[in-house]
């Protein structure tokens, strides 16, 4: 007897689809187990910005979207890492204070040291102060795991947002084993930039320059260089719950300047300068003789030559152009030259001085720190 068993087409299709879905889910689970875990910490900024008027890209509210919303808007992230999101703050970057640097650095260190499964951390951040936050983390995060800051020049609702591509490149960067022990990085416009040298030259796509140590291409990150100065776990600046940052002011010299006047002296001063007027020099001497360290930095970060530390009195090459002030009593006593900031911008020199003063107030030791970092 010939017996034919026929399964209805609808049941066969459903059965086949079920097998395919089960296989896909199993494959996805296997892939997820193989993918590294990347933690995205959101602080706000343009990358989380939303336009008030869809036709006006210049008017937007920075720090509007949450960490979960930002990561969910880039589905391709899941192809390269298991993504976790954490909200630190949601503000424009000019509102980030030194106290926030301390909290953020402690948070990053704690997550990297206590979570063995985390391959690296990406921090979304506003671009106005991103290089400052990055340099502070570069000096204080106590781990060799990669940390990358990422931002955007266009808000998330812009007709051509750059944030999603930047975030994807940053996640791919920290997920790479090659990113270990390269310090804190910025990833913008498919370029990997070291936190020490990076600088925002202009507020447009492609506006971050200097310090390029790699690129992010079709096949992922490719590193070209490794930072040579101490950073992260190699740095001597270890934060504790009791760590406080010294009050360091930043000044700029200018034509006709009369020099600073303080009711209460700061712990240190960074001078953005290409040269000082006689009045500025004299005012700074009064402050330096009271034990306040002064660091001179070229406004655009070029090298400032090593200056002689102390003269018995103002040298002739300083006093000669200031003949009209020859009888000013502020010329008397020791003449103390500013410490050189080397190749640091004034903003980064201020950060290093804030940390260095937690170690020492010795002029020789401060100069050695600036030379080493």
Tell me the per-residue pLDDT of 72-101, one tens digit each, with 9 for 90 and over: 999 999 999 999 999 999 999 999 999 999
pTM confidence score: 0.88
Residue 271 forms beta bridges with which residues?
251, 296
- In this predicted structure, what is the pLDDT of residue 306? 57
Q: Quick check: 26 pLDDT over 50?
A: no
Tell me the per-residue pLDDT of 161-191, one tens digit each, with 9 for 90 and over: 899 999 999 999 999 999 999 999 999 999 9
Region 274-287 average pLDDT: 92
The H or E element that residue 278 is part of is: helix 278-288
Sign of CA dihedral 236, 239, 240, 246: positive
Helix (H, G, I), strand (E, B) or coil at 370: helix
- In this predicted structure, what is the pLDDT of residue 305? 58
If one compares 245 and 336, the residue with the highest pLDDT of the two is 245
Residues 292-328: b if buried by 16+ CB within 10 A, e if exposed = bbbbbbbeebeebeeeeeeeeebeeebbeebeeeeee
Q: Going from the N-terminus, what domains does the chain have, and what CATH number goes with each?
A: 36-234 (3.40.50.1170), 248-372 (3.40.50.40)
Which pair of tokens denotes residue 65? 């979207």
Q: Which residues neighbour 235 within 8 Å (Cβ) at sequence distance 6 or greater?
A: 139, 140, 142, 373
Region 333-356 average pLDDT: 92
- CA distance linking residue 136 with residue 352, whole number of Å: 8
Burial class (CB in 10 A: 0-12, 13-18, 19+), 29: exposed
Q: Quick check: 288 pLDDT over 50?
A: yes
- CA distance linking residue 322 with residue 54, whole number of Å: 58
- Residue 39 near residue 122 (C-beta atoms within 8 A): yes
Region 65-73 average pLDDT: 97
- CA distance linking residue 349 with residue 131, whole number of Å: 12
Residue with tokens 């360290």: 293
Q: Which of 76-85, 272-281, 351-360 has the lowest mean pLDDT?
A: 272-281
Query: Is residue 46 flagged as an active site residue?
Result: yes
Region 98-120 average pLDDT: 98
Q: Which of 43, 46, 124, 173 is flagged as catalytic? A: 46
Q: Which of 24-28, 182-186, 312-316, 340-344 has the highest average model confidence (pLDDT)?
A: 182-186
- CA distance linking residue 244 with residue 240, whole number of Å: 9
Tell me the per-residue pLDDT of 133-162, one tens digit each, with 9 for 90 and over: 999 999 999 999 999 999 999 998 998 889
Confidence at 302, pLDDT banded by 50, 70, 90: low
Residue 326 forms beta bridges with which residues?
none
Confidence at 5, pLDDT banded by 50, 70, 90: very low
- In this predicted structure, what is the pLDDT of residue 323? 83
∠ CA 249-255-257, nearest 5°, is 45
- In this predicted structure, what is the pLDDT of residue 8? 52
Average pLDDT, the chain: 89
- Residue 280 near residue 254 (C-beta atoms within 8 A): no
- CA distance linking residue 35 with residue 31, whole number of Å: 6
Q: Which residues neighbour 63 within 8 Å (Cβ) at sequence distance 6 or greater?
A: 43, 44, 45, 48, 49, 89, 90, 91, 92, 126
Alpha carbon of 343 to those of 210, 295, 322, 335: distances in Å? 12, 12, 29, 24
- CA distance linking residue 372 with residue 227, whole number of Å: 12
- In this predicted structure, what is the pLDDT of residue 25? 55
Region 64-77 average pLDDT: 96
Tell me the per-residue pLDDT of 225-242, one tens digit each, with 9 for 90 and over: 999 999 999 999 999 999
Nearest in space to 355 (alpha carbons), one of 42, 124, 288, 365:
365
């Amino acid at each position: 007897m010939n017996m034919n068993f026929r399964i209805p087409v609808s049941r066969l299709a459903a059965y086949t689809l079920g097998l395919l879905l089960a296989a896909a889910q199993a494959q996805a689970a296997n892939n997820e187990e193989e993918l590294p875990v990347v933690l995205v910490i959101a602080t706000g900024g343009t990358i989380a910005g939303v336009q008030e008027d869809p036709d006006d890209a210049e008017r937007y509210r920075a720090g509007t979207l949450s960490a979960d919303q930002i990561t969910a808007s880039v589905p391709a992230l899941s192809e390269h890492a298991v993504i976790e999101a954490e909200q630190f703050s949601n503000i424009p970057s000019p509102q980030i204070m030194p106290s926030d640097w301390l909290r953020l650095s402690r948070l990053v260190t704690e997550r990297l040291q206590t979570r063995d499964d985390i391959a690296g951390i990406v921090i979304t951040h506003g671009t106005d102060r991103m290089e400052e936050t990055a340099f502070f983390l570069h000096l204080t995060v106590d781990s060799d795991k990669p940390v990358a800051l990422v931002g955007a020049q266009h808000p998330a609702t812009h007709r051509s947002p750059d944030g999603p591509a930047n975030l994807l490149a940053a996640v791919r960067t920290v997920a790479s084993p090659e990113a270990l022990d390269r310090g804190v990085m910025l990833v913008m416009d498919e370029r990997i930039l070291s936190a020490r040298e990076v600088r925002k030259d202009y507020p447009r796509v492609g506006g971050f320059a200097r310090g390029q140590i790699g690129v992010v291409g079709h096949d992922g990150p490719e590193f070209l260089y490794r930072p040579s100065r101490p950073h992260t776990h190699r740095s001597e600046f270890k934060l504790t719950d009791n760590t406080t940052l010294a009050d360091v002011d930043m000044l700029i010299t200018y034509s006709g300047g009369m020099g600073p006047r303080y009711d209460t002296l700061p712990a240190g001063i960074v001078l953005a300068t290409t040269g000082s007027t006689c009045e500025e020099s004299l005012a700074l001497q009064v402050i330096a003789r009271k034990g306040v360290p002064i660091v001179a930095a070229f406004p655009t970060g070029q090298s400032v030559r090593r200056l002689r530390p102390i003269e018995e009195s103002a040298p002739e090459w300083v006093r000669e152009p200031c003949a009209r002030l020859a009888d000013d009593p502020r010329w008397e006593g020791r003449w103390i030259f500013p410490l050189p900031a080397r190749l640091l911008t004034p903003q980064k020199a201020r950060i290093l001085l804030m940390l260095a003063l937690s170690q020492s107030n010795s002029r020789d030791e401060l100069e050695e720190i600036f030379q080493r970092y």
